[in-house]
Amino acid sequence: MRQKVIQFFKKIITSFKKLIFDNAVDIGIQFVNISAHRALLTTLMNKLFWLTLTMVFICFASVAQQPNDSSVNQQAQFGVGSSVFLNFSYAIKDFNKVMLQWVIGSTANTDYFVVEHGKDTSHFEAVGILKRTGVAAQYDLVDNNPSIGVNYYRVRCTDSSGLVFYSNILQVRLSGNEGFKYYPNPVDRLLIVEIAHVAYLQIINSAGTILISKQLQSGVQIINVSSLEKGEYLLRVADKENNRFVLEHLLKN
């Protein structure tokens, strides 16, 4: 009987030891796993921190090395549609000269206008500089040597604070076709006009009033101008087939 009691207590002790050992092992494994996860997370966070810091440094260094091209930024902010340039247009003289005309707003604060020409819309160079005169709102400049084909024009100015302003870009196409002639000039009674296309002719006085208006057909036409008084007039021909205008001076004897 005594022997059975002793064996019974031995089994209980053995089972208790095994339970404690197994739990201890499980606790140890969990502790190791948690420690490993924390270590891995800490390592990843450290790497992410240093990677982020490195990228920020590279970005600042890149910005610092870029040139300060204020004209590009100011063009985007103050370019087309600004209150400086209200209108920018053109007319063709002698079929091979481009007269550029622009109107500025009352808020314009600049002393000079730079007219720029380009063969595309990305590269421009100056072809003329015009000084601002008093409170005048309208200005014009003639490009006597445009390229045959497509030409692009814009006007640039800088105000007193250094901000750069641009007009809209004009596209002007020249064919080089000498398709319009008029003579004599000065004229007495009859004006002879030669033109290669259908067009509309207007004779305008210094006040801007249209005194003679006539549709021209292709070929030679004679226009009676005897009703005009002696003086200087503007001859305006609209060639709608080629989408261009011709502006010339006409003297009446």
* 246: number of Cβ within 10 Å: 22
* Mean pLDDT value of segment 17-24: 51
User: Is the confidence at residue 12, as pLDDT, over 90?
Assistant: no
Fold of the CATH domain 71-174: Immunoglobulin-like (2.60.40)
* Cβ 182 vs Cβ 193: under 8 Å: yes
- Please spell the DSSP secondary structure of 180-200, one letter per residue: EEEE-SSBSSEEEEEESS-EE
Provide CB contacts within 8 A for 116, sequence distance 6+.
124, 125, 126, 127, 153, 154, 155, 156
Q: How many CB atoms lie within 10 A of CB 146?
A: 19
Q: Domain coordinates of the chain in residue numbers? A: 1-66, 71-174, 180-252
pLDDT recorded at residue 4 = 60
Structure tokens that stand for 89 in this block: 């247009």
Q: What is the pLDDT of residues 192-230, one digit of tens each?
A: 998 877 888 999 998 889 999 999 888 899 999 999 999
- 71-174 against 180-252: fold identical: yes
Please write the tens of the pLDDT for every residue from 148-177.
788 999 999 998 888 899 999 999 887 655
Contacts of 71 (CB under 8 A, 6+ apart): 164
> Whose CA is closest to 98, among 176, 205, 45, 36?
176
* Assigned fold of 180-252: Immunoglobulin-like (2.60.40)
Q: What is the pLDDT of residue 148?
A: 79
